[in-house]
Structure 1
């Protein structure tokens, strides 16, 4: 564990304690660039698929990335927003640690990171390392290797980003989360191109229910995985013939 992050890893977040580690961690890791090659990616997806017989490759890849993003995004975003701490998460510098089922469990960093010398001026400066240094090259590579639409993969990432902001808002109501909300509510990036994390979920009024329904804008195609149906947050959930099931964490 990186000592500076200890204040984050309490209560429900204690399981993140050993997700971001340094080279002295004894678990074997592989450079992410090596993972994102056809032979290695296929091997990992094949091992992962053993849990889900008779599954479509695109569905498997999408579900695997959900496990990946739920490990990556919450500690990076929480460290930045709550502690003003910048983790070195550029894809080219990280190693990925997998368990016996080829599930992502940890990342080996090149160093512990540091507090921002001066606070970021805007949301894109704060999250550039995550967005452009990691998510974009990772998603581009996985989309090419698996033939999953990049929109599905960005939606998977955005789903956890938005979910985490809700958790932080509830747990720390006085925290300054403006840069976090700014990222998912910005229609465009600074260069004028569309923001791939723009509003990944929506909240709908359901007749007879006081609580708004949380719904993803884009389906994660988990129904292509053997034994799984659409999740409760899926935009396809209300269509005839679709059955709901529990999602991979929110």
Structure 2
């Protein structure tokens, strides 16, 4: 497949229905109010961000606060990355070279990249292969930070990232692969290893279950949102049966 966008361009990759991704991931030089991710997690800024997000939540469970915060982080990171990779653009997502900007509520607003990445030949449906750099260069470090600073179990953090990778990959699937019953991203949740030989942290994070005539996607581990006031349930996706109808 030939690069339809010519020279590397984030705005070209994030066109049309995916244009919103360009508001979540851009060049660091274009991102106002940004801090490097290295500084953000080492200077106390992360703790302040959680405090800001928790300000109107009346002493809610700190782990639930951190888990919910991470959902915003992972969605802004992984969805644009997967969308770009579908268009053969491999974005540079090494955490050590990226920056982050927050909203007034302390939630991640956007990520800054050191460059636009590179054109990547090959299949656009080999999810295991192109998730490997994301896991190696970024997600593993963030999962460790969440555990060390907030007591978030790694399995919970990986599950939080998994739901957005699953969403983005399925939403950009072609033809029958976009059918929920086909589950385009299924291999990511079944294979034991990633192509680079490392253990696959997403294995068993999500599963599909028959529910009458519907196929329901469900998490393995609950994100703890039910412990936060005013936060709606994630419905049938929830790992806890008693929370699915809340």
TM range (shorter): 0.7 to 0.9
Q: CA deviation at 1:174?
A: 7.4
Distance 1:179 1:243 in 2: 24
Q: In structure 1, what is the Cα distance between the partners aligned to 2:91 and 2:229?
A: 36
Q: TM-score when scaled to structure 2? A: 0.83
Pair 1:235 & 2:239 matched: yes
Q: Is 1:22 the counterpart of 2:24 in the alignment?
A: no
The answer to whether the 8 A contact 1:162-1:184 is kept is: no
Residue 74 of structure 1 is matched in structure 2 by: 79
CA separation of 1:159 and 1:134: change in aligned 2, threshold 3 A: same
Q: Deviations over 1:39-69 (max 9, x none)?
A: 2221110001124223111000000000111
Q: Deviations over 1:87-135 (max 9, x none)?
A: 111000000011111111111111111102x437965553332111000
Q: TM-score, normalised by structure 1?
A: 0.82
C-alpha distance in 1 between matches for 2:42 and 2:57:
23
Kindly indicate whether the alpha-carbon contact (under 8 Å) linking 1:126 and 1:179 is maintained by their aligned counterparts in 2. no
Change (3 A) 1:83 1:16: same
Task: Note closer, same or farther for the CA distance 1:33–1:26 as it changes in structure 2 (3 Å cut).
Answer: closer
In 2: Cα distance, 1:134 partner to 1:225 partner: 27
Per-residue deviation at 1:228?
3.3
What residue in structure 2 maps to residue 8 of structure 1? 14
Inter-CA distance 210–33: structure 2 relative to 1 (3 Å threshold): same
Whether the aligned pair in 1 keeps the contact of 2:132 and 2:195 (CA below 8 Å) is no
**Matched residue count:** 234
> Does 1:223 find its partner at 2:231?
no
Q: 2:134 — aligned with what? A: 130
Shift of 1:37: 2.6
1:9 CA displacement: 3.1
CA distance in 2, matches of 1:244, 1:24: 44
Structure 1 residue aligned with 2:175: 173
Higher mean Cα deviation, 51-60 or 192-201?
192-201
Q: 1:51 to 1:244 in 2, by over 3 A?
A: farther
Deviations 1:179-229 (A, max 9, x none): 9554333222457654111142212222xx311222111111112223336
> Which secondary structure does the structure 2 equivalent of 1:164 belong to?
helix
- In structure 1, the partner of 2:5 is none
The corresponding residue for 1:248 is none
Match of 1:212 in 2: 215
Q: Equivalent residue for 2:57?
A: 52
Contact 1:38 1:145 (8 Å CA) reproduced = no
